[in-house]
Structure 1
């Protein structure tokens, strides 16, 4: 009998291995196609099949999948990486497999195009302007009013996203984005938008169904690095319905509705305002599984391979996570306490992302994490207590990099 394979394009640090494991549980053979398989360290660690290929070259991907088809029955093609998800859609269409609409994904991944489509559909979004140069940025900020958020029009993981509270911060970040330090995947285009203020929520959608709403909080400004979160969020029935209604209204506006969507919102003085629609699973679907018993990754793969998914809740707990974020740059001397933290009742995962003697250079985005703690219990207060206790058990020491004078 021909072995059934699931083709995975690239992979992410948060969800890549979870997709592989879910595929294996479904009896599939996962094969990762990646421009640099060494970047997904779990591939070598787990002895997984990976093929080095230019994942920006659609023709090369079609040829490789055709070659694989001679050995395997390709059950489906998908990815946990938003940057290649439109390509996934194109491959699925070529091979007549279930998949997302590539045109919808491409429009959604352009933050300016996304803003336009949402605004035209009457979905509440922050005030925004497009900018291609420093004068454009300055003019847009003057129109909107400080503070503003300045970000690349295309990007993921809060890379290049900054809160600019005054003209000096605005000029500094504009110079950073346009001065060669930020890596652009396309021509430099920036989005200047109103800083919508209020509690931050994440709506998890599968197809046209709202699975639930999570809450998250950030580290100190001007960056937007998640510090932690809980699922489900503490909301009144009216607040929950309002967030769900606004979230679902994004789908027809962006021609989405196949597979997973993760929608980020803030609850402002005018109610829920959409910050961003991501045409993929959220970076951390595990709290949903811990709280409700719904494995969103497995259910997504079921859709990819043409099976029926099951989105029914198995139980109702409160899950939470806490990110471990360094407070300085330098060399990590040591990090300890993860085993003690893992032994705390209610803790389900403690993960460290760095090893001693590694250089720590904060970038103000998702790459700053040196680890996380995850917990679950039947009670919100209990879960928060477990997280606080476990996180307090983990400590580390960072020696700052020597200054120029000290090096001499």
Structure 2
């Protein structure tokens, strides 16, 4: 009798489908606990199943509850039908019912299955705890503080020194990342952030009040809706390091050079990433890999793919922006497959099964890049023009429109990947030229009005 792979996920539909397909190919049944699917997701699932001539999900339970007891009951129902081979949570973000990844890790641990680290998940998903962990580990990191009111906000900023960055303590998509050059901007940014957090697309994440000890053992209660992280501004060239963490090892996989990054009023936008890096020499790349490994070890993460974002300060070297205990977004999965032959779906399954075996990960020298085209503002996505022209541009290997026409786009306060492209080029100059042409040929028509009006 086949064993079942259990997927518990409330965000990442695309990678969930890819994982389910690979799980089926490896002989497992797929039991899925997922949020209610959107109509376009149901259509995508139908198309997948027609192509592969079998259901991808043997059992699908849709829910809007993510508390531990509810998930546990669902898993217990799955167990009545099949023996479980593994439990997988891809995103694992905070929900209003707690840290989803930690819930799943605890359930796996109770069953003696390979699991991620509950402590590691908290210390990497909560940005205050990440900074605290790096500080106590003696790693290169900026000064920081938790602002819960104007008094603590100003106290931390005065100690840190301007400019400072304000950000949600458990945010994603570069949402509400606010650079403040002085006290006036700081106070304005803080109150704007607290006003916008409850209205955010991610309010379900920010509504999670949780308690966890810092490295000194002090228990801290975090309320993401009424507090923000204050930290020193990090300058320098930006890059990201993809790593894989087993029970005992931390292995760097690939470094992406974020050659075009812009800082908006409250969002940081990543436009163009190149691999192999074009702005870093070999010793700098090695330093970034070694630093990323130390950061992951300090947090206590295990059995996970990790995405480490950093900037390379010319004086102090690599400095952490954030670490995420999940594979990077945009087209990182495609890049890992192309550049080093690393299969993300297989790695996630193997980590959950306890069968992952590290390989040799030497990147090919052919220059590749991923780029994102962002919506000009929030509103209803009426239509897009120029996709055919985009696909005919030299070096374009694939393009992906992430939101179907007719969707509502939240494009003002977060980094919304509306269209992504994957390409190859003979030089950075050639890649940059194609990217600039892509911005010209693609036109998004978005009606600027409030949702529901």
**8 A contact 2:308–2:320 mirrored in 1:** yes
Alignment correspondent of 1:193: 231
**Aligned mates of 1:345, 1:287 — CA distance in 2:** 18
Measured after TM superposition, the shift of residue 202 of structure 1 is 0.8
The separation in 1 between residues aligned to 2:288 and 2:308, in whole angstroms, is 10
Greater CA drift, 218-227 or 123-132:
218-227
Aligned to 2:41: 42
| Corresponding residue to 1:363 among 408, 412, 419 | 412
After TM superposition, the structure 1 = structure 2 runs for residues 246-325 of structure 1, keeping only pairs within 5 Å, are: 246-268=291-313, 269-283=315-329, 284-309=332-357, 311-313=359-361, 316=364, 317-325=366-374
Assess, with a 3 A threshold, how the Cα gap between structure 1 residues 143 and 330 changes in structure 2: closer, same or farther. Answer: same
Structure 2 residue 270 is the aligned partner of structure 1 residue 232: no
- 1:122 is matched with which residue? 138
SS in 1 for 2:134: helix
- Confirm or deny: 8 A CA contact 1:334 1:356 kept in the other structure: yes
Tell me, in whole angstroms, the C-alpha distance in 2 between the residues paired with 1:349 and 1:69.
Answer: 40
Give the aligned partner of residue 68 of structure 2. Answer: 58
1:201 to 1:61, Cα distance in 2 relative to 1, 3 A: same
Uncovered stretches (5+) of structure 2, i.e. residues with no partner: 47-55, 94-99, 210-222
Helix, strand or coil: the match of 1:46?
helix
- Could you tell which deviates more after superposition, 342-351 or 148-157? 342-351
Contact 2:379–2:449 at 8 Å: present in 1 too? yes
Q: Distance in 2 between matches of 1:363 and 1:61?
A: 34
Equivalent residues, number: 401
CA displacement at 1:147 relative to structure 2: 1.8
Distance 1:141 1:41, change over 3 A: farther
Considering only aligned residues, what root-mean-square deviation do their CA atoms show, in Å? 2.7
Counterparts of residues 167-186 of structure 1 (less than 5 Å): 167-179=183-195, 180-182=198-200, 183=203, 184=206, 185-186=208-209
Residue number in structure 2 paired with 1:339: 388
Match of 2:251 among 209, 225, 233: 209
- SS for the counterpart of 1:174 is helix
Q: Distance in 1 between matches of 2:296 and 2:25?
A: 30
Cα distance change of structure 1 residues 68 and 293 upon mapping to structure 2, 3 Å threshold:
same
- Shifted more, 272-281 versus 160-169: the winner is 160-169
2:123 to 85, 107, 115: 107
Structure 1's 102 and 369: CA in aligned 2 closer, same or farther, altered over 3 A?
same
Distance 1:82 1:227, change over 3 A: farther
Larger displacement relative to structure 2 (374-383 or 274-283): 374-383
What's the TM-score once normalised by structure 1's chain length?
Answer: 0.88
Counterpart residue number, 2:26 = 26
CA distance in 1 between partners of 2:254 and 2:268 (Å): 22
Structure 2: how far apart are the matches of 1:11 and 1:24? 21
CA distance in 1, matches of 2:292, 2:70: 36
Matched, 1:79 2:122: no
Gaps of 5+ in 1: none
Structure 1 CA distance, aligned partners of 2:427 and 2:24? 33
The structure 1 residue matched to 2:397, chosen from 345, 348, 354, is: 348
In structure 1, C-alpha distance between the alignment counterparts of 2:310 and 2:199, rounded to whole Å: 29
Contact 2:40 2:404 (C-alpha < 8 Å) held by counterparts: no
Return closer, same or farther for 1:243/1:14 CA change in 2, 3 Å cut-off: farther
Structure 1 residues 155 and 248: alpha-carbon distance in aligned structure 2, compared to 1, 3 A threshold:
same
Q: Distance in 2 between matches of 1:206 and 1:31?
A: 25
| Cα pair 2:194 2:227 within 8 Å, conserved | no
Alpha-carbon distance in structure 1 between the residues aligned to 2:183 and 2:395: 46
Q: Hey, what's the Cα distance between the residues in 1 that align with 2:345 and 2:361?
A: 15
230-239 or 386-395, larger mean C-alpha shift: 386-395
TM-score norm. by structure 2 comes to: 0.80
Q: More deviation in 95-104 or 307-316? A: 307-316
